[in-house]
Structure 1
Amino acid sequence: MGDRFEKLQDRLRDWTKADLPGEIWHSVDLFDQDDYDILVVPSFSVDQQVGEKIEGFLHYEERLLFSLIRLRNPHTRVIYVTALPLCPIVIDYYLQLLPGIPFSHARERLLPISLYDGSLKPLSKKILERPRLVDKIRRALRPNKAYMVCYNCTELERKLSLELDIPLLAASPDLLHWGSKSGSREIFAECNIPFPDGSFTVTSTEELLEELYELWLRQPDLKRIVVKLNEGFSGEGNALLDLRPILDYAPDKCERVETINALDKQLQNLSCQAEGETWESFSKRIPKLGAIVEAFIEGEVKRSPSVQGYIRPTKEVEILSTHDQILGGADGQVYMGCHFPADAAYRLKLQDLGLKVGEALAARGAMERYSVDFITVQHPETNEWDIQAIEINLRKGGTTHPFMTLKLLTNGNFDYDTGLFLSQQDQEKHYIATDNLQKEQYRGLLPNDLMDIIAEKRLHFDSSSRTGSVFHLMGALSEFGKLGLTSIGNSMEEAEEIYERVEAVLDEETKNYGDRASSLPLNWDKA
């Protein structure tokens, strides 16, 4: 299987070397000119129990709808597979954003496929369980002119790539270790990048307790320790162990066995990020997924920035963007959204560190997108920022779609020297983006209702000023009251104002909604 897969991946490298105008793989990522069939399989191949904790998890497949941007090339075709049907108006919404392409022409080159399967099994597994569908997709793709993209690459995505006989634009599943919590720490050590003290992989509670003890012994002033499953999603695999209630049992105050017993008991009070998670359920996944322990970074002024990069099949590494992440949850470790760009005080440093990580990943054979998460703490006296690397993600993530949306709608470019994004008119562009604009009162809103509100209140993106909001995760709105959006402005202040106006309008439109009747009858077009 490995040799066959590598031969398929060699096609990507051959296309890269092909004497074609525009550097083909530069264009694939940045949506310039390319002439390929693209199979989009937005499969979240993650621990099923993690998915169960995230409301509207299946609708996160909509985050890769920015891939429809590729249809702006009149020769490109896209097959987009989802577990549940996409609302037609959602597809129309994205196609109407395409510049210079008639809507009908783009629509003819898009084949959406739904499996009508609402289970939490990975989408790739669902496809493989349907051989007739696999055959249909295979026949729809042009031989030697097609490739596959996905959210993250596991053995399932590799198997699907082999079944379809098309290359997969993603890091091989053989490299997944380097995107795990433990593998990330190994890369950071190799690249001499600062990262929090902690452990590598443990696979039992007994090993975990030993590592907790050793970490506390090395750092007797610790107040909290983070326990992380080796594979997680959006911070849902993280838990926080508070040492303050058991300070009397610190390693420098009593015997080793007493400290370990105290730690064991305190684990029962572990603060898990996932709602409803307990130490009992969390610990059951440690043998399967592995876990690490890590010193919790304290600080009065603390942020969670990230850097995004791209590795071409030729092993060239490019920095795409930096963000300041917006974190929430009980202990502030769950990804809620982001600001672009990251603060000027440290974004260029993040770019340099991200480039080092990308080069280390490229040397191991990785390709396509990756990101690195950090924690920065401002020193109260010098105002300098201490930067600690936290995690590498070998996949697309929550910062992928807003940046690519910005790229499409402004036709601008990221400037590595400043860390800014400039439009074609050299206007700075900033945005705030989220996957988690969620309120109880939004439940029951259909995508069509949202479109009515967007049109009536003029919340849509303004192509003349290249500012405004672009929406996603619309399929999660009716059942979960959950929506995603990217608000673009010419300054961070303007982007935040645009975002706040969207939220204010939605709040007003859904306030006492039952007391108001629609201004149009359901059969208005026949009235």
Structure 2
Amino acid sequence: MTRLSFRQLQDRLRRDWCALGPGALAHFDPLIIPSLSLEQREIALVPGVHHYEERQLFDLIRLRHPQVQATYVTSKLLPELVVDAVLELLPSMPAAHARRRLHLFDADDASPRPLSEKLLERPALLRRIASALRPERTVMTCFNVTPLEKELSERLQIPLLGTDPQLDHWGSKAGSRALFALAGVPHPPGSPLVHHLDGLAEVAAELWEGCGGLAHAVVKLNHGFSGEGNARLPLAPLQLEDLSPRQRRERLARAMDSLPMPVGDWQELLVAQGALVEAWLEPLGGEQRSPSVQGTIHPDGGVEVVSTHEQILGGPSGQTYLGCRFPADPAYRRALHDHGLAVGRLLADAGALDRFSVDFIARRRPPGASPSPAWDLQAIEINLRQGGTTHPFMALRHTTNGQLTASGDYLTPTGEALYYRATDNFADPRLRGLLPIDLIELVAEAELHFDPARLRGSLFHLLGCLSEHGKLGMTCIGRSPEEAEQVYGATAERLLDRAVALHLG
């Protein structure tokens, strides 16, 4: 039998999708490979990172269609309790019926390497996975797509719903800036890509000179992940205005050499992938936020805005993703939607597929300031993959079966708007030692779980991180932004109280 290339498989998917028309997704079986195929030195900074493969369990929403079967592959065997907890949330579908149509496989390998790499090393496992699939109607989905996932698609002869890694440039820091310029999306002043410290000092000096005395800049590795490849560079303390151009560059080079980049050995990554310098967006006198817009590029070329969020950032540089609130503020939600569509259409023209997102900085102007509108939006980067905001929204859809409106609100089938606050990083030493069964019992006793009748409560993920790392993820839902915050606060407080009581008991 003739084996198809990655491109031929994607072309077949596009053809089949267009032939099926609206609702095509319901006709495909998902093969879910939740591999985090990212820079391993960055991924190593995330505690319990291989458990993040659990985040895509909410993709099992597809099992609400009774003719669909799903295959989910992980590094280590998923506890049945964790799987059942997700399936029991499916609206209008008995969990037992869905479970009969779900195939679970694992590589029995907890090493921090990408799952896709582990699978490629195990041809016997790949044969077992292939035997469980219906090739003519199966599509593979991943967290992100690299040459590893591309090879896996070709080995299994299953089309991959994701962007060819040959287009990764458009998801890099330099590629994002180029695409923003093409799409007419506002973005901060910045530099071209360079690959050595002297080059960074040179472009930082040029940026400072062109921006009339910039107080701060940010250095960005071209393929940084979740803010871990970014470092803030204070310029004002360097007193650059008192120096000659040559002295200015020498002083900047010394500052670059001691730059507090979260990623260790970042200078090696600088040589390998490059970095750029961008103007740090200072507050305009009012509040500053980090909203984002998420979209999907369908195989027929259609571009859809899926959601908007307010990202919650922290960490040493203040740029590490910690969680989010849904949806983004209505004051600029429409602008996010329009910018997302503009970027998505260019990505679609380039051949991208499936998930993408665009991160922004939103700065409120002081009352009476001009120009209008009241908020200044500046695009920061594009992600050609799933992200931290993907699975909370999937969790909401998974349990409520609602849809996004043209205004960016999420409405249940009965027309009620829902909101949430979500995190992957609810961590406390007092949670260590708790098993998934402990958490489920604790949540039931405290009545913390999402209640479909009251349309409020919490959904949990990353249960595998709990015992070893004292960490889990949760999506806290309410019928208003205030109620979602109340649910989050109450859930956090009661979890810790009950955990302490359990340990003492």
TM-score range, shorter chain: over 0.9
1:395 aligns with 2:381: no
1:324 and 1:341 in contact (8 A); partners too:
yes
Look up the SS of the partner of 2:242 in the other structure. coil
Deviation at 1:510, TM superposition (A): 2.5
Partner of 1:290: 274
Report if aligned partners of 1:438, 1:482 keep a CA contact under 8 Å in 2.
yes
Q: Which position in structure 2 is the counterpart of 1:345? A: 331
Establish whether residue 131 from structure 1 lines up as the match of residue 117 from structure 2.
no
TM-score, structure 2 length as denominator?
0.95
The alignment status of 1:49 with 2:33, answered yes or no, reads no
RMSD over aligned CA atoms reads 1.7
The yes-or-no answer on 1:193 pairing with 2:185 is: yes
The residue aligned with 1:218 is: 210
Q: Is the 8 A contact 2:3 2:157 kept in 1?
A: no
Q: Counterpart of 1:467 in structure 2: which amino acid?
A: R
Supply the distance in 2 between the matched residues of 1:472 and 1:514 (Cα, whole angstroms). Answer: 22
CA distance in 1, matches of 2:87, 2:324: 25
Over 3 Å counting, the alpha-carbon distance change for 1:35 and 1:372 in structure 2 is same
Distance 2:3 2:193 in 1: 26
Contact kept? 2:456, 2:477, Cα under 8 Å: yes
Could you tell me how far apart the structure 1 residues matched to 2:504 and 2:348 are? 58
Q: Say which is worse superposed, 263-272 or 355-364, in terms of deviation.
A: 263-272
Tell me how far apart the structure 2 counterparts of residues 508 and 135 of structure 1 sit (CA, whole Å). Answer: 47
Residue 515 of structure 1: aligned partner:
504
Deviates more, 1:65-74 or 1:487-496: 65-74
Match of 1:472 in 2: 461
Mapped to 1, the partners of 2:387 and 2:432 lie a distance apart of 25
Look up the SS of the partner of 1:156 in the other structure. helix
Cα offset for 1:353? 0.7
Partner of 1:16: 17
Task: Give yes or no for contact 1:305–1:323 (8 Å, CA) kept in 2.
Answer: yes
Amino acid at match of 1:318: E
Selected match of 1:158 from 136, 147, 150:
150
Residue 306, structure 1, aligned to residue 298, structure 2: no
TM-fit CA distance, 1:515 = 2.6
Shift of 1:483: 0.8
User: Could you say what secondary structure the match of 1:382 adopts?
Assistant: coil
CA deviations over 1:149-191 (Å, ceiling 9, x no partner): 0000111111100000010001111111101111000000111
Deviations 1:450-486 (A, max 9, x none): 0011110111111112221110111111111111111
For 1:94 and 1:515, the matched residues in 2 are separated by 29
Q: CA deviation at 1:502?
A: 0.7
Tell me if structure 1 keeps the 8 A contact 2:296–2:303.
Answer: yes
Comparing 424-433 with 402-411, which one deviates more in the overlay? 402-411
Deviation of the 1:19 alpha carbon: 4.4
Distance 1:181 1:3 in 2: 32
Gaps of 5+ in 1: 29-33, 517-527
Q: Could you tell me whether the CA contact under 8 Å between 2:75 and 2:110 is conserved in 1?
A: yes
- Distance between the aligned counterparts of 1:425 and 1:284, measured in 2? 54
Of 167-176 and 68-77, more deviation after overlay is shown by: 68-77
2:267 maps to a residue whose letter is S
CA offset at residue 335 of structure 1? Answer: 0.5
SS of the aligned residue for 1:85 comes to coil
CA separation of 1:283/1:461 partners in 2, compared to 1, >3 Å: closer, same or farther? same
Partner amino acid, structure 2, of 1:12: L
**Alpha-carbon distance change, 334 to 90 in structure 1, aligned in 2, over 3 angstroms:** same
1:191–1:109 Cα change, 3 Å: same
Partner SS, residue 118 of structure 2: helix
Query: 1:355: which partner in 2?
Result: 341
Q: Which one of the candidate residues 439, 444, 466 is aligned to 1:455?
A: 444
Q: Is the 8 A contact 1:374 1:391 kept in 2?
A: yes
Match of 1:414 in 2: 404
Q: Shift of residue 365 of structure 1?
A: 0.8
Percent identity between the two aligned chains: 47
Q: CA deviation at 1:209?
A: 1.6
Corresponding residue for 1:94?
86
Q: Distance in 2 between matches of 1:37 and 1:316?
A: 21
The residue identity in structure 1 corresponding to 2:272 is K
| Equivalent position SS for 2:42 | helix
**Does residue 1:364 correspond to 2:350, yes or no?**
yes
2:368 aligned partner:
382
1:329 lines up with 2:315 in the alignment: yes
Amino acid at match of 2:122: R
Q: Quote the offset at 1:340 in angstroms.
A: 0.7
Q: Is the 8 A contact 2:313 2:319 kept in 1?
A: yes
How many Å apart are 1:315 and its aligned residue?
A: 1.0
- Choose from 162, 181, 185 the match for 1:170: 162
Query: Which residue matches 2:132?
Result: 140
Separation in 2 of the partners of 1:185 and 1:119? 35
Cα distance in 1 for partners of 2:348, 2:20 equals 23
User: Among residues 390, 393, 417, which one is paired with 1:428 in the alignment?
Assistant: 417
Of 474, 486, 496, which residue of structure 2 is paired with 1:485? 474
The whole-number CA distance in structure 2 between the counterparts of 1:473 and 1:235 is 21
5+ long unaligned stretches in structure 2: none
- Deviation readout 1:253-310 (Å, 9 max, x if unpaired): 3222211111122224423345xx4xxx221211122212111111152100000111
1:241/1:269 contact within 8 Å kept: no
Q: State the 1:489 CA deviation.
A: 0.7
CA distance in 1, matches of 2:135, 2:179: 38
**How far apart are 1:17 and its partner, in Å?**
2.1
Query: Shift of the alpha carbon at 1:218?
Result: 0.9
Report the Cα offset of residue 13 of structure 1: 1.4
- 1:523 corresponds in structure 2 to none
Q: CA deviation at 1:342?
A: 0.4
Verify the 8 A CA contact 2:91 2:400 in the aligned structure 1: no
Contact 1:202 1:208 in 2 (8 A): yes
Aligned partner letter, 1:242: P
Measure how far apart 1:41 and its partner are.
Answer: 0.4
User: Which AA in structure 1 matches 2:310?
Assistant: D
Report the counterpart of residue 31 of structure 1 in structure 2: none
Whether the 8 Å contact between 2:459 and 2:474 is mirrored in structure 1 is yes
Q: Taking structure 1 as reference, are residues 340 and 2 closer, same or farther at Cα in structure 2, changes over 3 Å only?
A: farther
Q: Could you tell me whether the CA contact under 8 Å between 2:362 and 2:377 is conserved in 1?
A: yes
Q: Deviations over 1:340-391 (max 9, x none)?
A: 1101111111101111000110110111111000001111233711110000
TM norm structure 1: 0.91
Q: Does 1:255 align with 2:248?
A: no
For the pair 1:437 / 2:426, whether they are aligned, the reply is yes
Contact 1:375 1:388 in 2 (8 A): yes
**CA shift at 1:512, angstroms?**
6.3
Could you tell me how far apart the structure 1 residues matched to 2:394 and 2:44 are?
Answer: 28
Contact 1:328 1:335 in 2 (8 A): yes
CA distance in 1, matches of 2:292, 2:413: 25
